[in-house]
Amino acid sequence: MPITYHVVPHEDGWAYRLDDVFSETFPNHAEALAAARLAAERHERSDEDRFISYEDEDGRWHNEVAAGRDRPETEVEDSAETATDDPPA
């Protein structure tokens, strides 16, 4: 199952969202879409192993090693019905 980046209206501009986390706000749709595509591409890229630490929804911390070769498939979904460079009304 791929990880999906969603391009959406956000704070008088546009952003991309992964799950419940938003990127910075971009002034126009084209910039947000380009940034989402770049983030998705980087997410798939193989790299060296990394030590990661994260907190779960119960407030517990976990420490893991993320294998650099174990990368997810990604996609970008554009929620704009009509893509424009203007912020949403």
Given this model, what pLDDT does residue 68 score? 79
Given this model, what pLDDT does residue 67 score? 80
Listed residue (1, 89, 9, 19) closest to 57, CA to CA: 19
CA 45 – CA 12 distance, rounded (Å): 32
47 vs 18 pLDDT, higher one: 18
Domain extents in the chain: 3-78
Whether residue 78 contacts residue 7, with contact meaning beta carbons closer than 8 Å, is answered with yes
50 vs 17 pLDDT, higher one: 17
Confidence class for position 84, pLDDT limits 50, 70, 90: low
pLDDT (tens digit, 9 = 90+) per residue, 50-67?
A: 888 989 989 999 999 988
